[in-house]
Structure formats: C-alpha cells, structure tokens
Amino acid sequence: MAVFVFIEHREGKLMDISFESLSAAQKLNDTVVAVVAGENVSDLAEKVAKYADKVIVAEDPKIDTNNEAYTRVLNELIKKEKPKVVIMGHSSMGMDIAPALSVDLGLPIATDVVKINPEGGKIKVTRSIYNGKVLADYNLKNADTYIITIRAGEFSADDLKEKNGKIEIVDSLLKDEVADKKFVGYVQPVVGAVDITQADILVSVGRGIKDKENIPLAEELAKTMGGVLSCSRPIVDYGWLPKERQVGTSGKTVKPKLYLALGISGAFQHVAGMKGANMIVAVNKDPKAPIFSVAQYGIVDDILKVIPALTQKVKEIKG
Amino acid sequence: MDVIVCVRKVPDTAEADVMVEKSGKDIEKSRLTFTINEWDNYAVEEAIQMKEKYGGTVTVVTVGQKDVEDVLRRSLAMGADKAIRVDMEDPDDAYTLANILCAVIKNQKYDLVLFGAQSGDFNRGVTGAMVARMLGIPHATMVNGIEVLDGSIKASRELEGGLNEIYEIKLPALLTIQTGINEPRYVSISGIRKARQKPLEVLTPSDVGVGSIEPMIVLDKMYMPPPGKLAEFIAGSPEEAAAKLASILKGKGVL
Amino acid sequence: MMEVEEASFDKLYDVYACMQCGKCTGSCAVSLRTKLNIREMMRIAILGNNDDLKEHEEIWDCTTCGICTVRCPRDLKPSEVIVGLRSVLVEEGEVPSTIRDALESIGNNNNPWGRPKSKRADWMNDLGVEVKNLSAGDEAEYLLYIGCTASYDTRIQKISRAAVRVLTKLGVDFGVLGEEEPCCGSEARMMGESGLFEMLVEDNLNLFNDFGISKIITLSPHAYNAFKTDYKDYKKRLEEEGIEVPDLELDVVHYTQFLAEQIDEGRLTSDMMNEFNKTVVYHDPCYLGKRNNIFEPPRQILSIIPGINLVEFERREDRSLCCEGGGGKMWSEGTGTGERNAVIRARDAGALGAEVIAVACPFCMSTLEDGRSTAGYEESMEVKDIFEILDEVLK
C-alpha cells in the first residue's frame, strides 16, 4: 500500500507545504509516493526523491498550472495506483483540488488536519476547530483511499528522513485541455496600496520606536519577513506612518498569522484590533506592559536592539 | 446575473471561552453568541454589489432549524431578494451538507453560486467545491476579486505569500469568497425589520428530494487541547533572543 | 443619492429656525482639527436633499459633546441634528467599517468592543470584596451600573474595582449585574443607530424590571445621560408604537452626585481620609457638564480630601475642552489632523503644575491617559478617576 503526496510547486520552486506533506506521509510507515505534475518538473522531482520511496512525474505542458488539470491528473493516478491515503496541503491549491477529487472519486476527505492516526485499515484524524479552542477526532468512512489535507506548520519538515527513492515518469494523463477554467497568470498585489488587513505577517511599531528615523529599521524587518509594517495610534498621530497603517478599534482590525508588536504597550483599543492574530509576539522594555498578556512569546528588551538582530537572523534563515 | 449565496450561522468563538460538553460530541453553546459566518457575509455583500451593478437577483440559502433564520433576514436586509431554509439539523458532515445544498440549487435559476471560503466553526473549506462538483460546474476557491465578463468571469485567487492567481472561468460557476474582497455594509435594526416583508421559503428534506446520505466523516469525540502557556519569555542578549525567536517562527511555519 | 427627509428633519429638530449664524461651528470642539463644519451640516438638514451625505465623512468627527447646543442662540440642537444625519447613513449601511463593527458588536455581544458577553464580569476577578449580583437573586437598594468600557478595558476596569471598594467602605447597599449587565446604548444612539437603541431601551427596561431595579448609580456620564434623558423619550416612542414596556421610573444618579449627597449627609467626611498631597486638576466630562449641568458634585468631593491642592483649567465647566471620547469617536478616527484635544488638555494641566488629572468618565480616562503619554508626561503626571483617588485615601 502506498501513501500519495501531492507536491505543490510554483514558478519552479517547491512550496514548504510539500515537505510538510512528505513528513506527514513518512509518519504513516508506508511506501511514500510523491506525485510531481506540471511542465519542466524533473529538477523538482529529484529534490523530492530524497524524501520519498518513489516519485511519479507527470510531465505535461497542458497542465499549465491549472488546478483543474492537476485534479484530473491526480484522479487518473489514484484510479491506477490505488493508494491508501492521498496527502496534500490545506493550502489555497489544496482547497481547490482536494474536495473536487473527493466527489469525483467518491472518496472520503478530511481537511485541515493536524494529526493522522491510522487504526488498522481505518483512518482517524484530529482537527483543530472553533478557533483552535477545541480538538476533535473524526473517523473516516471505510474506503480504499482517503484524502487528507494537512494544516501548515503541524507536520515539521525537520523530521524528514532521507529515502532517495526512484523516479518514474508516466505518460501524459490529461486527455484534453481544460475548457471551462483557464489559468491566466500570477499577479502581485499592487505595490503602494498597502492593506494591512490582508497581510499574513504584520510588524507593528508603537511609541517604543522613539524617532521617525527608526521607522526604516522596522520597515526593513517587515520586508525581510515578507510582511507589512503597521503601527499603533500614536505613530499616526506623530505623522510617522499614514493612517491606513493604524491597528486598533478606531483604525483597522487585523488577523494576520503573525503579529509582531514592537514597543507597543498594549492599550485596550489597540489590543482589540489585533487579538484575532494566530500568533502574537511582543518586544517591550517594560515586563509589565499589558501587551504581554495577549502574546504567546515575549522579549523584554529595547526594540532598537532587537529589531536589527532579528532582521539579521531572519535573513540568515531565509538564505 | 442571478446569484445564489449559501450562508451559515456560527458561534463567535474568537474570544469566548469554549468548553466541550460532557458527551464529547459538541461544545457548550448557551453562553456563546451566534452570527453569520464571517466569510459568508463577504459573499452576500459581493452578490449584492453584483446585483447593484449588473441587475439580476440574489437568493440566500441555508440549512438549519428555525433559529438560523436571523442570518437569512439579515442577508435580505442587506439586499438579497429571496431566502431559502432547509428545515433540518445542520449535518456535521460536509458531504451530506453539500448534497442537500446541491439539491436546492439545481432547481433554481443561477449564473453564479457563492460560498464563504470556509466557516469559523469547523474551518473545513470543502463544502463549496464539493457542491460545484455535484452541480457539474467549474469552481474557484479563496477568491479575493471578481471581474464579470461576457459569459464568463475573471477570478483572482489568494495564494500563500501574498501572491494572487487569476483564472478565467465560464459561467455558470461557483466561487468561494475570501474575506477582504469587499467592505460589507452595516445592516441596521430598522433595515432588518423592513426586510420582514421579503420572501423566506422553508423546505423540508423531502421537498428538496434528498434521502439518507452516508456521511464521509463522523465525529468521534471533541476535547480540550492541552492548556497553552501565556507569554513565554525568551531570555538572552538581543542577538540570542532574536535567534531563538527566528527559529521558533520558522518552526511554526510563519517564516 | 440619499435623501434627508426634509419634513421630518424640520419636525424633529426645527431646523428651519436656524439662521446660519455659525455660533455652533465657532464653539465646536473639533472644528479646528477636523473638516467638520456644523453650520454646513445644519444647512444640509435644512435643504433636505441637495447634498450627498456619503461625501461628508467628517460627520463622524462630531464627539456629540453638545457645546453647539449650549451655544445656539435659537435654542436648536445642532448636535442632535448630526445624530439624525448619521441615522440616514446608518439606514443605508453607509458607515465607516470601524463604526459598523462597533454597532454590530452591540447587537451581537451587548457591548461595542467586540468582546464576548461571558467575559463582561472579568473585572470582578480577585476583587477581594463580596459584591451582590442582582441578576443572581440578590437584592439591593442600588444598581451600580458599570458600563461596557469599564467592564472590558483593562485600564478602566480599575475604576470599577475602586468603585466597588469605595461604596462597600461607605456601607452603601448596592449590587451589580455581572455578566448580565447590558449595554446602555448611548453610543449606539449617538452613532445614529436609533433602531438598535430603541431595542436596547425595550430590553433593558424589561431587564431592570425583572430584577427589581429602579435606583441606578452609573460610573459613566454617558450611561447617566442615556438612562436619565433618552430612555424617557424612547419609552414614550415605544408606547406610541404600541409596544408594551414596564411602567418603570428610573431614579438615576452619576456617582459623583451620589457621593456629594453622602458628604451632605455626613456619611463621607475628611476624617475618613488620609492626606493626598498632590496638585489635582478636574476635567469636566461633556455628558456631565455641558449636557447635564453637573459641575459642583465632583469638585465638592475632591475639595474635602485633606492635603489636596485643587487647581482649575481655564476652560472648565460648560466651556471645558472636550476630550474627543464620545459620539462614537472611540471607533472612528475621522478627518482629524494635528494635536488631539486630549494632548492639549494634558499640556494645559502640565502648565498648571498638575500632578493628577481627575476624571469622572471612562472615555475621558481613555483619551487623557493617551494624551498624557503623547504630551510627554508619562513620568510626571497621572490620570485618575475620582473613585480611584477616594479608594486611595479612604482609611
């Protein structure tokens, strides 16, 4: 029996979620079969082979990074190979593909899974629901194949074991081009139109930044982290950042994956605007600052010392 | 453009303390407040803006018992023309729910079906795409921008890392809507009162024509996660603390 | 294009009597730092339909302090006209998203702060004093109405806790409503959501009636003003609409009035207090002062504290500079530029040598705490509610 891992890649690069999916698959102690589909993907397949027992490469220019095409290719491969489990990310791409596969093949699906527990031939999964406040175990209906999408960050790629599997190239499985859904292209959101409510990472500064001249330090950290710079109300009052960067009840309510509060004391009106963030990290000189009561991680220090150090470390990690 | 929007009523658990019932099958709901699912609210607003721009109708659909009707009334007050409620307990299983919604939608006239990209209670993010498959129409999930063309639409999908991808999709189609696509309007109390005149149709499962459906996924038990620590302080020099923080962020998949 | 219903505007606010003298704009607390020009708003109301309200985002800059109403030579109520114009926008759903979120939260959570109902009583944790809960069957002469901001805002919760300790020391027979305490709706009304306010009046009168409450002490001048004045008007409105409401006459006092009474009756005296050797300046809240002419009670309380050096702002009583906390301003930045009034206020206090700005309103606390930090008085000046000062000095 095999576990399929759908490998997500974009513009010639493997996505992190692909390695996490491989990690989830390895934990099931079965043959790990990675599926790499698309155009000019042989380089990627070699990188993936390191962590899989086998890599199936479906090279086909007709796929054209179209999620519907990927779905059809996967459909054919699943019918042919009958894997026990198909794993992919609960990513934007996974959300487009996985439910469609489930209906097309009549296979049970569990999405946004944080733990996979095989029990004999059956599969039980753990999901984190109600804003992460409750965990729930679900049994999937008995089937030959189960489709599972995993939550990012729950299956660490650090646990990956090397396998150095073989690569198998299959003939094109896509019969026709997809007629009713055409991929047009990737678009970077317009530069200049900063919308802090849509950012995954917010680097947010407060009074602790002390001087307008220090704003670029924080700006650089935000850029390095792939995030956007936001701030508390006084920074707007001082005229150091424009109004649309203000977080709080009278500014914007934000829910990023990471909110890094730098030199923000945590007035109630500010906290009310950012408490929905998945993860809050606060850096403040004052260990009693209220911001620490909503933060998961805290550093008690001068932000003007921490910001450059953090920028440096993030640069190192990101290579 | 005739648009159908599927909506859902969910408890607001962002800040409230959530406890699991003794049975382990549900959460204690008595002290929670319930509202329209945040993503669905954007979907309803998007549909109404399309109607204001291109004409046509907006129909909102939900599955649930009578107490969920307030989210329909609210959507009617926002500008929807008609509401449909399938009178039954909200099924736990997304596949079952998708079958019921498909059965309702296929008897309606529509060019576009909208869902919220996910719901704040179970964050499954599957129902919309499943319904599209059952209806046999193309779909796009996580849509954060729509441009209406002749017989088709251009949809922008939100990808990880701040990138969008654009698809051109033939109508009829189904889209699941990401938050932030628009700015939902305020619905005043007197607006909701006035919308009481608008039609709200209640259908039984047999009206809809769905029999019993074997669920794909069955809840075994709910339980509380291990208690999280509050503010773990990272010690050391600025360099040491920064290094530790960077590796934590990397480990949590946010970098 | 949105239409202001001409006839009803004149009927409700007598706007045809406006002679466009501009005294309202001249006196306005925010006209110097925002685009708001009340005279222009009055003209929109008079002309009825010739202007697109949506274009006037400055309508959300009004703090509803009421100074224009105090100054109007024709006895009109320009601040109420603003509320009426806002309600036209609310009906259309055309409100800033932050105002929308606050209003939705009042409807869903019974507070404008987006916080869950189940955490409304968190301010009482580890209080160390037994408090009666009138929603749990306890009986007391007075309800201490805490209000939304003093229930949830971590800084302002300290006022609620001080209030409970002070009233307990004075032997007052009072209770609170805990998690069941409702939003008074004052801010909903001022943001133009009269339908929501009407609903709250109906629900709250029933709730007070059910729990046997008729005497209320409020922490907030805004709640005081709503219970005292607006509830009466809206009760009448509900009755006219044929909705049954309990025949309940609310006996409402702001806590400064209540404490001044205690002084008059000899139950609160200087002998009961330790010295407070600080220079203190009292900031008049608009909803106590301009709107309800309550100037003396807070001053009376402060003046009997031994050792206190009480100084006065030049702009005080009905000329007090609004802190910009009311009228929905907690949820809207508006068009304001330049220094906030609260910063100006903190500087004025600094010039007087004040070590403490004494306040009697949760919103004033919130804005002045911020103004004090911005003005650079973080180390040298404090903002304290009168209840907090009493809590400190009472033996």
Among A89-93, B62-66, B162-166, C353-357, the least confident range? B162-166
- Report CA-CA distances (Å) from C84 to B90, C12, C27, C196: 41, 9, 20, 14
For C51-64, what is the mean pLDDT?
Answer: 89
Among A173-177, B205-209, C53-57, C373-377, the least confident range? A173-177
- pLDDT higher than 90, residue C293: yes
The secondary structure element, H or E, covering residue B167 is: strand B164-170
Does residue A165 sit in the same domain as residue A212? no
Q: Above pLDDT 70, what percent of chain C?
A: 97
pLDDT of amino acid C190: 98
Q: Is residue A49 part of a domain?
A: yes
Chain B residue nearest residue C87, CA to CA: B188
Q: Is residue A180 part of a domain?
A: no
- pLDDT higher than 70, residue C300: yes
Q: Which domain holds residue A294?
A: 196-318
Distance, CA of A205 to CA of A245 (rounded, Å): 10
- Nearest CA to C161 out of C387, C394, C348 is that of C387
Average per-residue pLDDT for chain C: 94
Q: Is residue A182 part of a domain?
A: no
pLDDT of amino acid A191: 55
Average per-residue pLDDT for chain B: 94
Q: Token match 């006092």: residue?
A: C253
Minimum-distance CB partner of C330 among A236, A250, A253 = A250
Instruction: Give Cβ neighbours of residue C1 (< 8 Å, ≥ 6 apart).
Output: C49, C52
Minimum-distance CB partner of A96 among B129, B241, B250 = B129
The token pair that represents C162 in the structure block: 């001080």
pLDDT of amino acid C272: 97
pLDDT tens, position by position, A226-250: 999 999 988 988 889 988 899 998 8
For A39-49, what is the mean pLDDT?
Answer: 94
pLDDT of amino acid B226: 84
C1: confidence class by pLDDT, cuts 50, 70, 90? very low
Chain B residue nearest residue C104, CA to CA: B186
Of these ranges, A114-118, C263-267, C337-341, the one predicted with the greatest mean pLDDT is C263-267
For C312-335, what is the mean pLDDT?
Answer: 94
Cα(first)–Cα(last) distance of chain B, in Å?
42
The residue among B95 and A192 whose pLDDT is bigger is B95
pLDDT of amino acid A107: 97
Domain ranges in chain C? 6-92, 98-258, 265-393
Q: Is residue A254 part of a domain?
A: yes
For C15-41, what is the mean pLDDT?
Answer: 94
Distance, CA of C112 to CA of A109 (rounded, Å): 40
Partner-chain contact A268 C366, CB within 8 Å: yes
* Residue A207 to chain C, least CA–CA distance (Å): 9
> What CATH fold (topology level) applies to the domain C6-92?
Fumarate Reductase Iron-sulfur Protein; Chain B, domain 2 (1.10.1060)
3-state SS string for chain A:
CEEEEECCEECCEECHHHHHHHHHHHCCCCEEEEEEEECCCHHHHHHHHCCCCEEEEEECHHHCCCHHHHHHHHHHHHHHHCCCEEEEECCHHHHHHHHHHHHHHCCCEEEEEEEEEEECCEEEEEEEECCCCEEEEEEECCCCCEEEEECCCCCCHHHCCCCCCEEEEECCCCCCCCCCEEEEEEECCCCCCCCHHHCCEEEEECHHHCCHHHHHHHHHHHHHHCCEEEECHHHHHCCCCCHHHEECCCCECCCCCEEEEECCCCCHHHHCCCCCCCEEEEEECCCCCHHHHCCCEEEECCHHHHHHHHHHHHHHHHC
Minimum-distance CB partner of A189 among B120, B125, B164 = B164
* Residue C118 to chain B, least CA–CA distance (Å): 6
Nearest 5°: phi and psi at C7?
-60, -45
Partner-chain contact B124 A135, CB within 8 Å: no
Neighbours of chain A (3+ CB pairs under 8 A): B, C
pLDDT of amino acid A234: 86
3-state SS string for C134-158:
HHHCCCCCEEEECCHHHHHCCCCHH
Neighbours of chain B (3+ CB pairs under 8 A): A, C
Which residues of chain A have a CB within 8 Å of the CB of B18? 130-131, 133-134
Q: Is C377 on the interface with A (CB under 8 A)?
A: no
> What CATH fold (topology level) applies to the domain C265-393?
Rossmann fold (3.40.50)
Distance, CA of B141 to CA of A97 (rounded, Å): 9
Among A117-121, A260-264, B63-67, B245-249, the least confident range? A117-121
Partner-chain contact B12 C109, CB within 8 Å: yes
pLDDT of amino acid C7: 59
Q: Is A139 on the interface with B (CB under 8 A)?
A: yes
Give me the total of CB pairs closer than 8 Å, taking one residue from chain A and one from chain C: 47
Distance, CA of B46 to CA of A316 (rounded, Å): 42
pLDDT tens, position by position, A11-23: 999 998 999 999 9
Q: Is residue A97 part of a domain?
A: yes
Q: Which domains does chain B have, with CATH numbers?
A: 3-208 (3.40.50.620)
pLDDT of amino acid A3: 97
Minimum-distance CB partner of B189 among C114, C115, C199 = C199
Does residue A158 sit in the same domain as residue A27? yes
For A72-80, what is the mean pLDDT?
Answer: 96
**Is residue C311 helix, strand or coil?**
strand
Chain B residue nearest residue C196, CA to CA: B189
pLDDT of amino acid B131: 98
Distance, CA of A136 to CA of B222 (rounded, Å): 4
Q: Is C197 on the interface with A (CB under 8 A)?
A: no
Q: Is residue A231 part of a domain?
A: yes
For C27-31, what is the mean pLDDT?
Answer: 95
Minimum-distance CB partner of A267 among C333, C343, C370 = C370
Number of structural domains, chain A?
2
Q: Is C62 on the interface with A (CB under 8 A)?
A: no
- pLDDT higher than 70, residue A92: yes
Q: Which residues pair with C384 in a beta bridge?
A: C358
Partner-chain contact B246 A138, CB within 8 Å: no
Q: How distant is the alpha carbon of residue C354 from its chain centre?
A: 24
3-state SS string for B38-82:
HHHHHHHHHHHHHHHHHCCCEEEEEECCHHHHHHHHHHHHHCCCE
pLDDT tens, position by position, C31-51: 999 999 999 999 998 887 656
Does residue A164 sit in the same domain as residue A216? no
Partner-chain contact B122 A282, CB within 8 Å: no
Domains C6-92 and C265-393 share a fold: no
Q: Is C154 on the interface with B (CB under 8 A)?
A: no
pLDDT tens, position by position, A168-200: 999 878 888 899 999 999 998 665 567 898 889
Instruction: Give Cβ neighbours of residue A107 (< 8 Å, ≥ 6 apart).
Output: A78, A101, A143, A144, A145, A146, A147
Which residues of chain C have a CB within 8 Å of the CB of B183? 97
Which DSSP state fits C325?
-
Give the domain CATH number at A211. Answer: 3.40.50.1220
CB-CB neighbours of C367 under 10 Å: 28
- pLDDT higher than 90, residue A135: yes
Which residues of chain B have a CB within 8 Å of the CB of C332? none
Does residue A138 sit in the same domain as residue A207? no
- pLDDT higher than 70, residue B230: no
pLDDT of amino acid C11: 86
Q: Is residue A166 part of a domain?
A: yes
Q: Is residue A178 part of a domain?
A: no
3-state SS string for C185-208:
CHHHHHCCCHHHHHHHHHHHHHHH
Partner-chain contact A243 C115, CB within 8 Å: no
Partner-chain contact C91 B188, CB within 8 Å: yes
Partner-chain contact A268 C156, CB within 8 Å: yes
Chain C residue nearest residue A242, CA to CA: C337
pLDDT of amino acid A193: 63
For C224-234, what is the mean pLDDT?
Answer: 96
Q: Is C337 on the interface with B (CB under 8 A)?
A: no
Distance, CA of C326 to CA of C361 (rounded, Å): 10
Residue among C83, C99, C106, C117 with most chain B CBs within 10 A, to mutate? C117
Sequence letter at residue C327: G
For C7-32, what is the mean pLDDT?
Answer: 91
For B20-28, what is the mean pLDDT?
Answer: 96
Q: Is C188 on the interface with B (CB under 8 A)?
A: no
Q: Is A294 on the interface with C (CB under 8 A)?
A: no
Does residue A224 sit in the same domain as residue A117? no
Its CATH class, for the domain covering C98-258, is mainly alpha
Which residues of chain A have a CB within 8 Å of the CB of B133? 99-100, 103-104
Chain B residue nearest residue C95, CA to CA: B186
Partner-chain contact C91 B32, CB within 8 Å: no
